Amino acid sequence: MAQTLAVIGTGYVGLVSGVCFAEHGNTVWCMDVDQDKIERLRRGESPIYEPGLEPLLQRNLHEGRLIFTEDLRQAIHHATVVFLCLPTPPDQDGSADIHYVLDTARAIAEIVAHDGIDRLRILVNRSTVPVGTTEQVQTLVRQVAPSADIRVASNPEFMSEGNAVQQTLNPDRVVVGSSDPDVITVLRELYQPFVDDYDRPLLVMDDKSAEVTKYAANAFLALRISFMNELSRYCESVGADIELVRTGISLDPRIGRTYLHPGIGFGGSCLPKDIRALVRSAHQVGMSLQLVEATANINAEQLHRFVERIRHRFGGSLARRRFAVWGLAFKPNTDDVRESPAHKLISALLADGATITAYDPEAMDTTRRVLGDRIEYARDMYSALDGADALIVATEWAEFRMPDWDNIKSRLQENVIFDGRNLWHPNMMQVLGFEYHSIGRRSVFPGV
């Protein structure tokens, strides 16, 4: 049966969750403190670039199942289930700062107590939070609203940007962290259209295990990437090809194919932040998670090494060198540049005196907000190359894969490419007449 829900926070997680719940017939009140964002959403405009999101947003808005508001009281008034989809930014020491979650839970409890709402309210935390947060929120709402029936559960999301709508509508699994049979019944009913008992189940576990599951998933994905990145350095040293090794291992079903692509490291709003928070959380109980710590160190080192290779190629200094950078988003199919390896790379090149002209199909505006006029922005991927000493590929957008090679050659000063995402094959690049450096494979030089 369709329900009335509230989603607090219309960032990536909140907006995609809200739209997908509405798509399955629920009435969803989405609340955010950012008035501009709410106004854009009311007009049916998505504030983020996410494939497939805007048409679903517009349809559900039009059909009256999605309502946007800045008013928390209005948002929660009719809702039986309230989802908290709030940021948990890193603190100075890397721990997740949960004050948005706590402040909002407190405000909700105050409204429920003040308005005398006695219906069951389920407060579901969907933000990535350290273990024990669900318990902490439950204690807090009990103190603030002792006579109200507010039950708190954990329901971490696993959506990946660029594919978030499809993943939310067809999740691999839904994790519900609660030991309360009433809560489990309500959430089971809500998620029934999304799951399938056989291969896309809803898993019920205690709240602490659900909280750890989220960190464990992201840490494991990051670990796979760092493993391949570390191995890519080994392959470079011994003359092996990491892409052949990747294929060789990934066909083993015990290993699988995903998250094995070597590159200039992982970025984004989740993986780097979550592994730092997990490491901190372990420190707080007197433990060090050695593999997770190594994962973070290898990631930083991978980017550093790539910059060193570029520096070395140009005689130890990048002063007065000009580079074209293709790709600014932390990965393709998004305009998100949070903790983007491309941005880190550009900052390192700039610090060494280089001039950068960049191009990205979606992330030019988001980059301008961060890097401003420290770099130049090209109209298209080819004009970025004019007069550059080398092309550097930082993000593997599909449109970069089959370029017009003659056009590239006519614009570059020298036919040098540093490919941080292994878009092309070294043999092909050699035949095409490029000096080509990639990750975990031999460098090739024209005519050699």
Residues lying near ligand UDX in the complex (CB under 6 A) are found at: 157-161, 218, 221, 225, 259-261, 263, 266-271, 330-331
Minimum Å gap between C-beta 432 and ligand UDX is: 25
Distance of alpha carbon 262 from alpha carbon 419, whole angstroms = 11
Q: Which residue reads 């989405």 in tokens?
A: 30
* Contact status, residue 273 vs residue 90, Cβ threshold 8 Å: yes
Nearer residue to ligand UDX within complex by CB, 122 or 221: 221
Minimum Å gap between C-beta 84 and ligand UDX is: 16
Minimum Å gap between C-beta 44 and ligand UDX is: 24
Nearer residue to ligand UDX within complex by CB, 29 or 266: 266
Minimum Å gap between C-beta 340 and ligand UDX is: 7
286 contacts: CB under 8 Å, gap ≥ 6: none
Nearer residue to ligand UDX within complex by CB, 138 or 218: 218
Q: What are phi and psi of 55, to 5 degrees?
A: -60, -40
Distance of alpha carbon 404 from alpha carbon 316, whole angstroms = 31
Amino acid at 137: V
Nearer residue to ligand UDX within complex by CB, 259 or 405: 259
CA dihedral 368, 370, 376, 377 (to 10 degrees): -30
Minimum Å gap between C-beta 140 and ligand UDX is: 25
Nearer residue to ligand UDX within complex by CB, 49 or 158: 158
Nearer residue to ligand UDX within complex by CB, 65 or 441: 441
> Which ranges of 173-331 would DSSP assign to H, the alpha helix?
181-191, 207-238, 242-250, 271-284, 290-313
Amino acid at 395: T
Task: Calculate helix-pair angle for 53-62, 12-23, nearest 10 degrees.
Answer: 50
Catalytically annotated residue among 20, 30, 235, 270: 270
Distance of alpha carbon 131 from alpha carbon 209, whole angstroms = 8
Distance of alpha carbon 224 from alpha carbon 280, whole angstroms = 20
Nearer residue to ligand UDX within complex by CB, 389 or 396: 396
Q: CA of 371: how far to CAs of 329, 385, 386, 402, in Å?
A: 13, 19, 21, 28
Q: Respond yes or no: is residue 270 known to be catalytic.
A: yes
SS3 84: strand
Nearest 5°: CA angle at 51, between 439 and 32? Answer: 110
Half-sphere exposure of 245 (CA within 13 A, CB side): 21
* Count of residues in the chain: 448
Active site residues: 270
